Amino acid sequence: MQFEDLGLIPPILRALKDQNYKSPTTIQQKSIPLILSGEDILGNAQTGTGKTAAFAVPIIQHLAGEGHNPQGKRTISSLVVTPTRELAIQIGESFTAYARHTHVKNTVIFGGVSQGSQTQALKRGVDVLIATPGRLLDLMDQGYISLRDIEYFVLDEADRMLDMGFIHDIKKIIAELPRKRQSLFFSATMPKNILDLSHQILRNPKKVAVNPVASTAEKIKQYVYPTNKSSKKELLFFILKKLDPEQILVFSRSKHGADRIVRDLRKKRIDCAAIHGDKSQNQRQKALKQFKSGEIRVLVATDIAARGIDIDKLGYVVNYDVPNEPETYVHRIGRCGRAGETGIALSICEPEENAYIRDIEKLINKKIQHADDNPFPQTDKPMSAAEKKEFQKEKNRRRQESFANRKKNRGSQNSNFRRKRR
Ligand code: AMP
């Protein structure tokens, strides 16, 4: 199937050609005609499947059509809500790219930076608003945003949204939307709480499912390097040297771990940076930009920070540790081999994580091959006293980090609540 077969207007076809997209991905083939004909969508798809274009293209086509006068005052007629700032920025970039030959304008708002330039852009007028929940509610409370004229509402990465504690924010946003609207709901997983939420938003939705979590792993070559804790650092150096000069995304389970990896790599004069929740928005954006431009070779990220980041044709992902949730592993390796490209995922695995690998193999229904060039293979040697101490320290640190994150999420919900009551 070609984009021409989907009934798209010439300015959009031209923009897709500019992007070098040859043909629509599965989610695009399935969703675009349904959205163009006015249906609500319950989409089971994750980042990397081309889902942004699947919802952005029909929205742009609608807004570029008659009845939306570029000369008149623009009102926000489409709202996309997404959990992370990085994802919001990327969706904004995609809208800009696909709408470049039309008059449709978008802007992106997210927290963690001053609101001045965001409110300026809103005052100038936009058709499409892409937002994270906290800043959206904040600017609604301050009177900068009205959802009165929304025709299209997109809730992106709904499962992540709930994981991050945004449920109350989402409900407040939904309450402000006009009843007559078209809604598009996307989530990588569809547990009961997500389906319950979807029922509150969608009317007679058409279900569109692609790439259930387990099958994304099929197109990516995966190898595991079983080793001991004391050799992980050396093994990472070995892998980076072997893959030189490729660009690599390295995952760390904790923020502290990410910072430590960056320190170690810098000692070896490897250009790198970390993105995680303790970094300011500017630091994160700078690191991402440097990585995308090739200025730095290695980006070290935690799971939440990496969620949704889109780096064209990323070839390699290295897991410095194996995540204890198999779905997280699938999300991580999904950062490489995007939209049909082949990627390679390498996982460094210490003895305590062997069981995690088995859980992952169960989920993806496939054995992960051991790398045949491992210079530091795992031995049965029990952990030394120092290693045990370090392992315990790391475990406590992770527990504190996850406690602090939960507290932060609760904090932001409460402050929204307070704002609303004032
Ligand atoms: P998404 O799932 O929307 O984050 O998209 C993942 C990546 O695939 C992005 O880099 C898009 O630019 C790219 N992409 C989206 N649609 C297509 C397509 N039809 N052909 C090639 N690449 C695409």
pLDDT in tens, 279-307: 887 888 899 999 989 999 999 999 877 76
Tally of CB atoms within 10 A around 77: 19
Helix (H) or strand (E) holding 192: helix 192-201
pLDDT for the residue numbered 22 = 87
Tell me which residue has tokens 């709480």: 193
pLDDT for the residue numbered 94 = 97
Q: Is it the case that residue 401 has pLDDT exceeding 90? A: no
Q: How far, in Å, from the CA of 236 to the mean position of ligand 1?
A: 30
Which CATH architecture group holds 220-393? Answer: 3-Layer(aba) Sandwich (3.40)
pLDDT for the residue numbered 143 = 96
Q: Whose CA is nearest to atom 20 of ligand 1?
A: 21
Output the ligand 1 site: residues, CB below 6 A. 21, 24-25, 28, 47-53, 310, 312, 338-339
- pLDDT level of residue 61 (50, 70, 90 thresholds): very high
**Cα 106 from chain centroid (whole Å):** 19
**Cα 140 from chain centroid (whole Å):** 25
pLDDT for the residue numbered 339 = 61
Q: Whose CA is nearest to atom 11 of ligand 1?
A: 50
Give how far Cα 78 sits from Cα of 129, 197, 402, Å. 6, 20, 34
Q: How far, in Å, from the CA of 48 to the mean position of ligand 1?
A: 6
Tally of CB atoms within 10 A around 319: 25
Q: How far, in Å, from the CA of 90 to the mean position of ligand 1?
A: 11
Give how far Cα 313 sits from Cα of 111, 303, 317, 334, Å. 28, 19, 11, 11
Phi, psi of 187, deg, nearest 5: -155, 145
pLDDT for the residue numbered 410 = 55
Q: Is it the case that residue 115 has pLDDT exceeding 60? A: yes
245 preceded by a cis bond (ω within 30 of 0) = yes
Q: What would the DSSP string read from start to end of 197-265? A: HHHHH-SSPEEEE---HHHHGGGEEEEEEE--GGGHHHHHHHHHHHHTTS-EEEE-SSHHHHHHHHHHH
pLDDT tens digit sequence for 371-388: 999 999 998 766 677 777
Contact of 345 with 333, CB cutoff 8 Å: yes
Strands lying side by side in the sheet with 248-251: 272-275, 298-301, 248-251, 316-319, 343-349, 220-226, 369-370
The strand pairing partners of 129, in sequence order, are 79, 107
Q: Whose CA is nearest to atom 10 of ligand 1?
A: 312
The strand pairing partners of 209, in sequence order, are 44
pLDDT for the residue numbered 413 = 43
Q: Domain spans of the chain?
A: 3-209, 220-393
Contact of 343 with 314, CB cutoff 8 Å: yes
Nearest ligand 1 atom to alpha carbon 46:
2
Query: What letter represents residue 169's amino acid?
Result: D
Q: Is it the case that residue 270 has pLDDT exceeding 60? A: yes
pLDDT tens digit sequence for 300-342: 999 877 765 666 668 899 999 999 888 789 888 888 876 666 7
49, 307, 338, 341, best to mutate for ligand 1 pocket (most atoms within 8 Å of CB): 338
pLDDT for the residue numbered 422 = 36
Q: What is the mean pLDDT of residues 232-261?
A: 94
Helix (H) or strand (E) holding 359: helix 354-364
pLDDT for the residue numbered 418 = 41
**Cα 151 from chain centroid (whole Å):** 25
- pLDDT level of residue 69 (50, 70, 90 thresholds): low
Phi, psi of 315, deg, nearest 5: -85, -35
Collapsed DSSP state (helix, strand, coil) of residue 294:
coil
Q: Is it the case that residue 214 has pLDDT exceeding 80? A: no
Percent of the chain with pLDDT over 70: 87
Q: Which residues contact 155 (CB under 8 A, 6 or more apart)?
A: 81, 161, 170, 183, 184, 185, 186, 201
pLDDT tens digit sequence for 15-50: 999 999 988 988 999 999 999 999 999 998 877 778
What is the pLDDT of the chain when averaged over all its residues? Answer: 88
For the ranges 98-102, 161-165, 189-193, 241-245, the maximum mean pLDDT occurs at 98-102
pLDDT for the residue numbered 182 = 98
Q: Is it the case that residue 98 has pLDDT exceeding 80? A: yes
Q: What would the DSSP string read from start to end of 32-56? A: HHHHHTT--EEEE--TTSSHHHHHH
Domain 3-209 sits in CATH at 3.40.50.300
**Cα 318 from chain centroid (whole Å):** 17
pLDDT for the residue numbered 71 = 66
Cα 240 to Cα 297: distance, rounded to the nearest angstrom: 9
Nearest residue to 76 via CA among 152, 164, 182, 149: 149
Q: Is it the case that residue 67 has pLDDT exceeding 60? A: yes
pLDDT for the residue numbered 307 = 67
Cα 266 to Cα 273: distance, rounded to the nearest angstrom: 9
Cα 393 to Cα 57: distance, rounded to the nearest angstrom: 49
Q: How far, in Å, from the CA of 53 to the mean position of ligand 1?
A: 7
